[in-house]
Amino acid sequence: MPRFAANLGWLFTEHDFLDRFAAAARAGFRAVEFAAPYAYPPEEIAMRLLDNGLECILINLPMGDRAKGDVGIACRPERRAEFREGVERGIVYAQALGVPRMNVIAGLAHAGEDPAALRATLVENLGYAAAELAKVKLDLLVEPLNDIDTPGFLVTRQAQGVELMNEVRAANFGLQFDLYHVAMMGEEPLAALDRHRAAIRHIQFADAPGRGEPGTGRVDYAPIFERIDGQGYTGWVAAEYRPSRETAQTLSWFVR
């Protein structure tokens, strides 16, 4: 079976964030990830990782203000300076937490805007971030999000992520492959895994629709996990779902 990690932004939310590390360790996880650590001092998070014998495998670069409608800012021309400041801040956290890779969320295209101009900004910012992360031996990932849950999102398909990789041409830049978003965009997960295997640096999953644990939707995860192993993928596969009940009661896929 793959090496499974828990996304603490989605799992164990019956606990306060800083208490989720111990809950994940008790459940048998040895690695965790989370999108937004920036509300907490990095030293406090690092201590929770150490105390619970956990590895932090991924965080996101700052994504703007979700309360104001931001879903990433990397494509926003008027926020280039904010994005670059976020790269610096993200590196501080990544180094404090021992994180090897950081994910970037592209952002939204609003009505009446020129998608080509937004995409040009995104490519510019991705190139900048990849270069800055390379200086400290960190990888950068880009994650396509489905436009059913996130209308207007600029990068919705895995092939678009690969196109961005081909334009940026940075050795430390790869694809974050989220099986939930793949399924929600109507792509067949096994075929998409095969098609994009060379670009994939990190994998996440949830069932679809509904974004619950495996078994709550229509995606059959047993053959998907077998395919991931069969491809020789040695990275982490992170559970990023909305538990239908207390998290510990939704881990039958993990126990198997």
Which of these is catalytic: 33, 78, 143, 167? 143
Provide the mean pLDDT of the chain: 97
What's the confidence (pLDDT) of residue 239? Answer: 98
Closest CA to 176 of 102, 228, 71: 102
Give residue 256's pLDDT band: very low, low, confident or very high (50, 70, 90).
low
A 10 A CB-CB count for 122 gives: 25
A 10 A CB-CB count for 84 gives: 14
Tens digits of per-residue pLDDT, 36-47? 999 999 999 999
Q: Taking the model in full, what pTM does it have?
A: 0.97
| 234: β partners | none
Structure tokens at 152: 């207007």
Map out the domains of the chain as residue ranges: 3-255
- Reply yes or no on whether 82 is catalytic: no
Radius of gyration over every alpha carbon of the chain, rounded to an integer in angstroms? 17
Closest CA to 122 of 143, 102, 95: 143
What's the confidence (pLDDT) of residue 1? Answer: 84
26-29: long-range contacts at Cβ-Cβ below 8 A with a sequence spacing of 24 or more? 26/248, 27/247, 27/248, 27/251, 27/254, 28/251, 28/254, 29/4, 29/5, 29/54
Give residue 255's pLDDT band: very low, low, confident or very high (50, 70, 90).
confident
d(CA 223, CA 107): 32
Tens digits of per-residue pLDDT, 112-148? 999 999 999 999 999 999 999 999 999 999 999 999 9
Q: What top-level class would CATH report for the domain 3-255?
A: alpha beta
Q: pLDDT above 90 covers what percent of the chain?
A: 99
Closest CA to 32 of 116, 98, 119, 127: 98
Which of these is catalytic: 33, 187, 213, 240? 240
* Cis amide linkage into residue 41, ω under 30° from 0: no
- Reply yes or no on whether 113 is catalytic: no
